[in-house]
């Protein structure tokens, strides 16, 4: 047989009676620091003194209780989504910027190639090609590559020890052109007057470069759209959850005559603040990530191959357009969240009614 | 002000809870809605508050037909109606002051405009010293008075109260009744749903007696 312990209700005298006044003063002082939200949990009798302590009480508590929205989880989710969106947008910005630079460089220069033909004097052909090029309107310079430069270009494929005289190596002339230059006319004149001469305007390169940069841009924007869509869906679920958790609040607001726009504003205010905060955290993280990545990339590259790659692709730097794109993404994320929350609130309110 | 003509109400495919209900609520009138538990008092109040739509018959509230009323109009009309729920419906995260000020706050008035009105009303209902506490620490009677104050703060044209004395002791019930009478003298129509006979005896008024879904109107000298 088991003996049940007696559960006694604590007597009123068991409450700490010690220096009640000074303790209440302490609570009142604490009340000033902690704000009125903590007051509800305190003992009834202390409210009066707390009230006096809290002279700054105001009647503008948020109508949607902040703790009713799953803030931390949503904040983390928005920050991650914003991080991914900013990363893809800044990557697109960097690649576009680089591709523009490459296209400008390639478009501003054409190459005359002169193949050795029969018994014609190769050096004379080069001189004539330079002359024709310099006489063409819009051409800024025409510089023939020396034998040594040509050999250096072939060195990676043929090595250092090959005999240049045994191979019919074409000579190249680098021609700087402007938008006024009629490349068709220059090509015709070279073909007619210089045996074995042809003009390479790098059109194939330009086309491939443009295609590559467009593809990367499309993929980047597509990924950003997916991230935005995932963010919007998350906000829809979070808003519905918040509204389900605050159904009694919404009902009371309706009963006291609140219009849908007013209720939507209450929820939107929550989600806009949360969205902007999360997006700013994600955006800052993405910019910091890019900055650190550029530092790491800049600190490497001591070998000739890495130097060559750097000279071809340039540095990995986030310029002002990248920062601007990241800032826009942060704002867009905040606005997207606020608008999504608002539309979800409207849709849900109609269902509730 | 409010007119019911052969109004019927059913929930879903269930039986009619209200049948052929016809009566009129005049401006400045005082009436009780009474009947046994489950007779449909709360349903009738919900119809009056436009929280439900009749399944048949005609219900006109402030000259608006409930059958064709727009959602936006309902929200506008509710500002002219004060309601006290049986379960108070106070928001636990707001203080008494904020709960009472809620109708004014949602109408967009700045807090400085209504602060004195809310404070005075809270003093009037005897909650002056409970202004900054949350509903969790209020007694049943205090919650009831806070709910009544919230319904009165906008000076509604009609006040609907569902069992307003159901959770309070007789002295407080008498005090609340005096509050309603005073309000009625100031021009507000009052509809009290109750099955408290002693309350109805204290102040004679017209009775809308619900029985098996039908309403029988019992007039009284003082109504």
A61-106, pLDDT tens digit by residue? Answer: 888 877 766 678 888 989 999 999 998 888 888 888 878 877 777 7
E strands along chain B, which residues? 2-10, 16-25, 30-34, 56-61, 64-65, 81-84, 158-162, 189-193, 206-211, 214-218
Sign (positive or negative) of CA dihedral B145, B198, B46, B39: positive
Q: Where residue B65 sits, what CATH number does that domain have?
A: 3.40.50.300
Nearest residue in A to B128, CA atom: A48
Output the pLDDT for position A304: 60
From the list B32, B165, B7, the residue with the least C-alpha distance to B86 is B165
Nearest Cα neighbor of A117 from A190, A170, A186 is A170
Structure tokens at A302: 């001591």
Average pLDDT value for chain B: 89
On whether the CB atoms of residues B164 and B83 are closer than 8 A, the answer is: no
pLDDT band at residue A24 under the 50/70/90 scheme = very low
pLDDT of residue A40: 40
Please give the full DSSP string across B135-203, using - where no structure is assigned. GGGS-HHHHHHHHHHHHHTT--SEEEEESTTTTS-HHHHHHHHHHHHHHHHTT-EEEEE---HHHHHHS
Which residue spans within B11-107 are E strands per DSSP?
16-25, 30-34, 56-61, 64-65, 81-84
Question: What is the per-residue pLDDT across A142-176, written as a single tens digit (0 to 9) for each?
Answer: 888 887 787 777 777 777 777 767 777 888 898 98
Q: Do B105 and A58 touch (CB under 8 A)?
A: no
Chain A residues whose beta carbon lies within 8 Å of the beta carbon of residue B109: none
Nearest-5° Cα angle at B216, B213 to B222: 140
B107 and A257 in contact by Cβ < 8 A? yes
What is the pLDDT, as a whole number, of residue B72? 82
For chain A, domain boundaries = 66-104+206-352, 116-195
Q: Which residue of A61, A249, A257 is in closest CB contact with B78? A: A257
Domain assignment of residue B8, given as a range: 2-218
ipTM of the complex: 0.85
Tell me, yes or no, whether B31 lies in a domain.
yes
For residue B61, the model assigns a pLDDT of 92
CB A80: neighbour CB atoms within 10 A? 17
Dihedral sign from CA coordinates of A112, A113, A117, A123: positive
- Phi, psi angle pair for B5, to nearest 5°: -135, 110
- Residue A28: pLDDT above 50? no
B57 phi, psi to nearest 5 deg: 85, -175
For residue B146, being part of any structural domain is answered with: yes
Count of structural domains, chain B: 1
Q: Assess contact for A320 and A97: CB atoms under 8 A.
A: no
Rounded-to-integer distance, Cα B208 and Cα B203, Å: 15
Structure tokens at B148: 């009544």
Helix axes of A260-299 and A247-255: crossing angle, nearest 10 degrees: 140
Q: Which chain A residue shows the shortest CA-CA distance from B52? A: A353
Q: Exposed (0-12), middle (13-18) or buried (19+): which is B167, by Cβ within 10 Å? A: middle
Mean pLDDT is lowest, of A205-219, A296-310, B149-163, for: A296-310
Cβ contact, residue pair B111, A48, below 8 Å: no
Of B89, B8, B1, nearest to B52 by C-alpha is B8
Q: Coil, strand or helix: which one is A137?
A: coil
Determine what percent of chain A is predicted with pLDDT higher than 70.
75
pLDDT in tens, A111-151: 998 888 776 677 788 888 899 988 888 888 888 888 778 77
pLDDT reading at A47 higher than 80: no
Backbone phi, then psi, for A18, in 5-degree steps? Answer: -70, 125
Percent of chain B clearing pLDDT 90 (strictly above)? 46
Closest CA relative to residue A294, chosen from A279, A264, A316, A324? A316
Choose the closest CB to A65 out of B93, B107, B118: B93
Q: In this structure, what token pair is assigned to residue A25?
A: 């003063």
Largest Cα span, chain B = 50
Return d(Cα A322, Cα A287) in angstroms, integer. Answer: 9
* In the predicted structure, residue A52 carries a pLDDT above the cut 70: no
Question: With an 8 Å Cβ cutoff, are A63 and B137 in contact?
Answer: no
Separation of CA A174 from chain center: 39
Kindly identify which residue of chain B lies nearest to residue A251, measuring between CA atoms.
B89
Residue A33 and residue B213: Cα distance in Å, rounded? 56
CA B174-B179-B185 angle, 5° bins: 125
Q: Report the pLDDT value the prediction gives residue A19, as an integer from 0 to 100.
A: 41
3-state secondary structure of A171: strand
Which DSSP helix (H) or strand (E) runs through A90?
Answer: helix A71-107
How confident is the model at residue A32, as a pLDDT? 46
Residue linked to tokens 């102040």? B203
Domain-located, residue B223: no
pTM higher than the cut 0.90: no
- pLDDT above 50: residue B127: yes
End-to-end CA distance of chain A: 58
Identify the residue with better confidence: B122 or A33: B122
Would you place residue A301 in the very low, low, confident or very high pLDDT band (cuts 50, 70, 90)?
Answer: low
Report the gap between the CA of A62 and the closest CA in chain B (Å): 8
Q: Do A256 and B150 count as a contact with CB atoms less than 8 A apart? A: yes
Give the chain B residue whose CA is nearest to the CA of A48: B129
Instruction: Judge contact between A206 and A315, C-beta under 8 A.
Output: no
Residues of B within 8 A of A249 (CB-CB) are 91
Distances (CA, A) of A130 to A120, A150, A152, A188, B60: 16, 16, 21, 14, 97
Mean pLDDT computed over A287-313 = 70
In which band, very low, low, confident or very high, does the pLDDT at A310 lie, cut at 50, 70 and 90? Answer: low
Q: What percent of chain A has pLDDT over 90?
A: 8
| Interface contact A257-B95, CB threshold 8 A | no
Task: Say what the pLDDT of residue A315 is.
Answer: 59
> What is the pairing mode between strands B214-218 and B206-211?
antiparallel
The model's pLDDT over B72-119, given as tens digits with 9 standing for 90+, comes to: 888 888 889 999 988 889 999 999 999 999 999 998 888 889 999 999
pLDDT of residue A6: 45
8 Å CB contact between A297 and A189: no
pLDDT digits (tens, 9 = 90+) for B4-50: 999 999 998 888 899 999 999 999 999 999 998 888 888 999 899 88
Q: Provide mean pLDDT across the span A268-292.
A: 88
Tokens (6 digits) for A144: 């023939």
Q: What is the pLDDT at residue B12?
A: 86
């Amino acid at each position: 047989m088991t003996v049940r312990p007696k559960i006694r209700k604590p007597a009123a005298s068991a409450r700490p009676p010690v220096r009640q006044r000074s303790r209440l003063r302490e609570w009142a002082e604490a009340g000033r620091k902690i704000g009125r939200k903590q007051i509800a949990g305190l003992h009834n009798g202390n409210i009066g003194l707390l009230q006096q302590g809290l002279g700054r009480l105001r009647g503008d508590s948020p109508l949607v209780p902040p703790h009713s929205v799953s803030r931390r989880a949503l904040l983390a989710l928005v920050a991650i989504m914003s991080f991914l969106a900013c990363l893809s947008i800044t990557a697109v910005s960097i690649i576009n910027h680089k591709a523009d630079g490459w296209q400008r460089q390639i478009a501003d220069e054409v190459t005359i190639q002169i193949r050795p033909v029969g018994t014609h004097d190769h050096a004379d052909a080069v001189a004539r090609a330079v002359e024709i090029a310099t006489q063409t309107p819009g051409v800024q310079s025409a510089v023939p590559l020396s034998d040594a430069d040509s050999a250096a270009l072939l060195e990676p494929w043929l090595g250092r020890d090959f005999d240049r005289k045994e191979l019919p190596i074409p000579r190249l002339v680098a021609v700087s052109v402007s938008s006024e230059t009629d490349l068709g006319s220059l090509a015709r004149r070279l073909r007619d007057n210089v045996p074995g001469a042809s003009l390479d305007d790098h059109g194939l390169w330009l086309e491939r470069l443009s295609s590559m940069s467009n593809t990367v841009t499309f993929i980047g924007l597509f990924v950003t759209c997916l991230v935005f869509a995932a963010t919007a869906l998350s906000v829809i679920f979070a808003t519905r959850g918040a509204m389900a958790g605050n159904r009694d609040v919404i009902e009371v607001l309706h009963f006291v005559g609140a219009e849908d726009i007013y209720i939507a504003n209450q929820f939107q205010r929550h989600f806009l603040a949360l969205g902007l905060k999360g997006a700013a955290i994600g955006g800052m993280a993405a910019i910091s990530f890019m900055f650190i990545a550029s530092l790491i990339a800049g600190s490497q590259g001591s070998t000739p191959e890495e130097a060559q790659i750097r000279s071809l692709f340039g540095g990995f730097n986030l310029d002002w357009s990248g920062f601007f794109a990241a800032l826009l993404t942060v704002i867009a994320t905040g606005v997207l969240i606020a608008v999504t929350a608002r539309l979800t609130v409207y849709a849900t309110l109609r269902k509730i009614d | 002000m409010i007119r019911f003509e052969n109004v019927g109400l059913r929930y879903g495919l269930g039986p009619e809870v209200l049948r052929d209900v016809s009566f009129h609520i005049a401006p400045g009138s005082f009436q009780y809605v009474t009947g046994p538990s489950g007779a449909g008092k709360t349903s009738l109040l919900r119809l009056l508050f436009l929280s439900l739509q009749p399944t048949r018959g005609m219900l006109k509230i402030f000259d608006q037909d409930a059958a064709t009323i727009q959602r936006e109009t309902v929200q506008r009309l509710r500002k002219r109606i004060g309601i006290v729920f049986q379960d108070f419906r106070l928001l636990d995260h707001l203080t008494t002051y904020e709960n009472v000020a809620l109708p004014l706050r949602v109408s967009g008035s700045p807090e400085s405009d209504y602060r004195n009105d809310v404070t005075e009303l809270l003093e009037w209902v005897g909650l002056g010293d409970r202004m900054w506490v949350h509903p969790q620490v209020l007694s049943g009677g205090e919650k009831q008075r806070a709910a009544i104050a919230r319904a009165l703060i906008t000076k509604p044209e009609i006040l609907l109260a569902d069992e307003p004395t159901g959770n309070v002791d007789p002295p407080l019930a008498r005090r609340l009744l005096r509050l309603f009478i005073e309000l009625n003298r100031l021009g507000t129509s009052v509809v009290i749903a109750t099955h408290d006979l002693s309350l109805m005896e204290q102040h004679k008024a017209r009775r809308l007696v619900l029985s098996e879904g039908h309403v029988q109107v019992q007039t009284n000298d003082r109504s």
